[in-house]
Chain A
Amino acid sequence: METLFSGVELLLRWDVALALIVGSVGGVIIGAIPGVGAAVAIAILLPATFSLDPIVGLTVLLGIYGSSMYGGSLPAILINTPGTAVNALTTYDGYPMTKRGEARRALALAYSASFWGGVFGILCLIFLSPLLALVAPHFGSREIFLAALLGIILVVLAHRGQVFAAGMLASFGILLHTVGLEPVKYTRRFTFDQTWLTGGFDLIVVVLGLFALSQAFLLLVDKDSTPRAQTVEGSLFDGMKELWLYKRVATAAGSFGVVMGMIPGVGEFTAQFLSYTYARKTSQEPEKFGDGAPEGLIASEAANNAVPAAAMIPLLALGIPGEALTAMMLSVFYVHNVIPGPQLFQNQLDFVYALYIAMLLLNVIVMVFLLFSTNLLTKIIQIPTRFLGMVILTLSFVGVYSLRNSIVDCAIASAFGILGLILKRLNLPIVPIVLGMVLGGIMEVKLRTSMIRVKEPLDFVNRPIAAFLALMIVLVIVMHVRTLIKEHRDKLTNADQDHDLHDSQQR
């Protein structure tokens, strides 16, 4: 309890309060504008947060991460266009409700389900933290290596139907990490006698190119359009009480979000899909799903909002990011010499608690903001798309150039921007590149360290957690092959499947 109060104390500062407001309100606005996701915003803001205290910088970034999904539900419900990639399932039931004249009800349910999911996720983690503090120190180099390897494998296998592409892009990410002067034996790798390659590729430059510049290029090249959303009349507060009728679905969805968020490489999509499937299977009116079922809307929103808090678990406890946004946040920790991992839970548990409390407060601020500003947001989202492209391009400059005032960095970011645009147009995933780059670095360091004590191959898995992780890796691959065979036998046809759902890579 003392640690908890110490965590609260860390937050009692004016700059943290400002970060809470900027992060939550900014995140909602960013999420509500189709074409700007949390990844774009976090990539741009990342270098600006380096000059701030870790708690302040991370509060802003966590605020954007968590609250962008609240905002993303607004255009998903009102104009059938998800504001962020993870709001794609919200359109299935949210937009039909709007067409039926129930926009206010749909928004109220989406907001309240998001709040429920978000708070549920954070509370779970606050209660789990002491347990994590006990388990995390048992993670040595080989356990962290195996966990990172599991993360890479999951990220590749999660892109079913495009496993080859995900595999080659994850390998490309690992390759990017290896470029430059290697820090142990000081040998050069892929420098081609070019001085600008000696330092390697900076993660932030790559991320800014792949997420922010690519999005700017995409909007600038494409045709101009202006989203138009109807205004919402009446109080949203009354509609929120309705969530109580669906508390079972909301809690189950939140649980899916927490569990999936904790597993590296999985995240919001899987959580949403599992909770949506669960809600449909247990519903008394499953035929209404996809045609404006409140339970479907709640399942989707509660699940994706429970993920951000859970996604911080592998990052904080093991130093392993499970998806692109936490991978970006990892650099904030490193810049401030706060090394996430087992030591953090042992020595700075108050810092961890402070982050969780900040996330809790962010959810409250977002709810209050949304109750009074939904109609204002419907006006803000009416930005012409090419103008928005210009905005992102201008902001990207701050992100890339302020790092080292390097024109070379800007040129590299531009090249990755074009690569990102191509990947987005082809609907190929960008996340494996980023995770390959980050996890590749972690795997190389941890494997080298662990090899000192490994005499025989089996020594690698002679500790319980290492053995469990190795077993998980084998199990995941076996299950994947089993599913492939099962699907082949069932001969599922592609004709009646929803391919449009997957254009989510473009946001």
Chain B
Amino acid sequence: MMNARTLQDLFKRYRRPGDLVFSVFFLLFCVFMLSNLEDQTTWVKGGKLMAQPAFWPYLSVISMAVFATLHLISGLVSPVIAGRWTEVAFWLRSIEYAVWFLAYVLIVPILGYLPGTILFTIILCLRLGYRQRRTLINAALFAIVVVVLFKSMLQVKVPGGQIYEYLPTTLRSFMLTYF
């Protein structure tokens, strides 16, 4: 049912578990930036205040700190929501996939875009719990389509793999250009 009564209701967002943890960390970040404001910015001699290179850094950090404080206070005065640490655990689990992504970034310059992508998609699918041959074949096909579309056709800048150096000359230049 459409229960929002006013335009404002539509934009109201309600706190979720973990909101307080995020608010605290964000405020700590603001404090860190505030403590470094003077060191990390420069006020040049002469010139109007609003044309100073330090004007926008000061304005952004101070307004960020003010809003973050108000956000934290609004969180503190609201009822406690259960499930805070389960939610934080969910956030932390995402780090694993950030590592997967960075591992993919590191293997591509070594193995090459096509072999690296096929390997990445298949191994990640296995990690995700997919065991069916059909799913793994789909993952490999997807990898090939991505490489053909972006590298072979659109010629996006992805360097060739180091192992391509061991290929015969004609095949090597072909692989370096298209895969």
Residues on A facing B (Cβ under 8 Å): 47-48, 51, 89, 92, 158-162, 164-165, 167-168, 171-172, 174-175, 177-178, 182, 184-185, 187-192, 213, 216-218, 220-221, 224, 269-270, 273-274, 276-277, 280, 289-291, 296, 384, 386-387, 389-391, 393-398, 401-403, 405, 407, 410-411, 414-415, 417-418, 421-422, 425-429, 436, 440, 443-444, 447-448, 451, 483, 487, 492, 494, 496-499, 501-502, 505
Whether B56 and A502, one on each chain, are in contact in the complex, defined by CB atoms closer than 8 angstroms, is: no
- Please give 5 more A-B residue pairs, beta carbons under 8 A apart, in addition to A182-B53, A187-B42, A415-B98: A175-B61, A386-B129, A402-B150, A426-B16, A447-B51
A356–B177 Cα gap in the complex (Å)? 36
A-B contact pairs, 27 of them (CB 8 A): A89-B2, A161-B11, A164-B70, A167-B67, A168-B68, A171-B63, A172-B64, A174-B56, A213-B98, A220-B97, A220-B128, A276-B2, A389-B97, A390-B125, A394-B104, A397-B108, A410-B101, A417-B101, A422-B91, A425-B16, A425-B87, A427-B13, A427-B16, A448-B50, A497-B3, A498-B1, A498-B3
A396–B100 Cα gap in the complex (Å)? 12
Number of A-B contacts defined by CB within 8 Å: 251
Residues of A contacting B26 with CB < 8 Å? 168
Interface size class of B (residues with CB under 8 A): 35 or more
A401–B70 Cα gap in the complex (Å)? 38
SS class, residues of chain A in contact with chain B: helix
Residues of A contacting B22 with CB < 8 Å? 422, 426, 428
Q: Tell me, rounded to whole Å, the shortest Cβ–Cβ distance linking B158 to chain A.
A: 6
Find A497's partner among B4, B54, B93, B117 (CB 8 Å cutoff).
B4
Residues of A contacting B5 with CB < 8 Å? 492, 497
Residues of A contacting B42 with CB < 8 Å? 185, 187-189
Find B50's partner among A440, A447, A487 (CB 8 Å cutoff).
A447
Binary A-proximity of B44-75 (CB < 8 A = 1, otherwise 0): 10001011011011011101101110110010
A167–B70 Cα gap in the complex (Å)? 10
Q: Tell me, rounded to whole Å, the shortest Cβ–Cβ distance linking B146 to chain A.
A: 6
Residues of A contacting B35 with CB < 8 Å? none
Cβ of B82 under 8 Å from chain A: no
Find A224's partner among B4, B10, B128 (CB 8 Å cutoff).
B128
